Amino acid sequence: MADKKISPSKQSLIYCFKQIWKYRKSYLPISAINVIAGAAIPFAEIIFLPLLINAMTAPEKDLRYIITLAASMVVSQILLQAINSCVTVHLEKSADFFLNIESEEISQLCMDIDFTLTENKDALDQIKKARDGMNWSGGAHEIAKGFFTILSNAIKLFGVAAVMIANAPVLLLIIGILLAVSAFINAKKNEIDIKNFAELSNINRIFGYVCWQMEDFRYGKDIRLYSAAGMMIEKSAQQIKRLSDYWQNINDKKYPLNVLDITVGALRDFGTYLYLGFLAITGRITIGVFSQMLSAAGTLHASLQAIIMGVQDIVKRSGYMYEVIKFMEYPPAMEKGTKKVADNSKGHEIEFRNVSFTYPGSDVKVLHDVSIKLRSGERLSVVGLNGAGKTTFIKLLCRLYDVDSGEILLDGVNIREYDYEEYMKLFSVVFQDFRLLAFSAADNITLGSEESPEAIDKLFETVGLLDDINELPKGRDTMMFKQFDKEGVELSGGQQQKMAIARALYKNAPVVILDEPTAALDPVAEYEIYRQFNDLVHGKTAVYISHRLSSCKFCEHIAVFSEGTIKEYGTHDELVHKRDGIYAEMFKAQAQYYV
Asked if residue 319 binds ligand ADP (CB under 6 A), the reply is no
DSSP at 451: -
CB of 362 to ligand ADP, least distance (A): 4
Measured CA to CA in angstroms, residue 190 lies from 146, 260, 425 at distances of: 16, 15, 48
- DSSP per-residue letters across 170-233: HHHHHHHHHHHHHHHHHHHHHHHHHHHHHHHHHHHHHHHHHHHHHH-GGGHHHHHHTT-HHHHH
Among 207, 359, 434, 569, binds ligand ADP (CB under 6 A): 359
Asked if residue 387 binds ligand ADP (CB under 6 A), the reply is yes
Q: In terms of CB distance, is 366 or 430 closer to ligand ADP?
A: 366
CB of 366 to ligand ADP, least distance (A): 4
CB of 432 to ligand ADP, least distance (A): 7
C-alpha–C-alpha distance, residues 253 and 247, integer Å: 10
Asked if residue 389 binds ligand ADP (CB under 6 A), the reply is yes
3-state secondary structure (DSSP) of residue 106: helix
Asked if residue 345 binds ligand ADP (CB under 6 A), the reply is no
List the helix and strand counts (H, then E) for the chain: 19, 10
Measured CA to CA in angstroms, residue 539 lies from 180, 507, 535, 574 at distances of: 77, 15, 9, 23
Residues 432-491 that bind ligand ADP (CB under 6 A): none
CB of 332 to ligand ADP, least distance (A): 19
3-state secondary structure (DSSP) of residue 456: helix
CB of 386 to ligand ADP, least distance (A): 4
Asked if residue 392 binds ligand ADP (CB under 6 A), the reply is yes
How many residues sit in the footprint of ligand ADP (CB under 6 A)?
12
Asked if residue 310 binds ligand ADP (CB under 6 A), the reply is no
Among 386, 449, 452, 592, binds ligand ADP (CB under 6 A): 386
CB of 384 to ligand ADP, least distance (A): 6
Asked if residue 121 binds ligand ADP (CB under 6 A), the reply is no
Q: In terms of CB distance, is 360 or 453 closer to ligand ADP?
A: 360
Cβ atoms 146, 313 nearer than 8 A: yes
Cβ atoms 146, 31 nearer than 8 A: no
C-alpha–C-alpha distance, residues 83 and 39, integer Å: 12
Of 21-29, 58-66, 80-88, 386-394, the window that binds ligand ADP (rule: CB under 6 A) is 386-394
CB of 116 to ligand ADP, least distance (A): 9
Among 12, 19, 152, 391, binds ligand ADP (CB under 6 A): 391
Cβ atoms 370, 354 nearer than 8 A: yes
Asked if residue 38 binds ligand ADP (CB under 6 A), the reply is no
* Dihedral, 195, 199, 204, 210 alpha carbons, nearest 10: 180
CB of 10 to ligand ADP, least distance (A): 39
Of 169-177, 259-267, 383-391, 409-417, the window that binds ligand ADP (rule: CB under 6 A) is 383-391
Asked if residue 548 binds ligand ADP (CB under 6 A), the reply is no
CB of 372 to ligand ADP, least distance (A): 15
Q: From the centroid of its chain, how far is CA 221?
A: 29
3-state secondary structure (DSSP) of residue 443: helix
Find the helix packing angle between 27-57 and 139-167, rounded to 10°. 30
Asked if residue 390 binds ligand ADP (CB under 6 A), the reply is yes
Site residues, ligand ADP (CB under 6 A): 119, 359, 362, 366, 384, 386-392
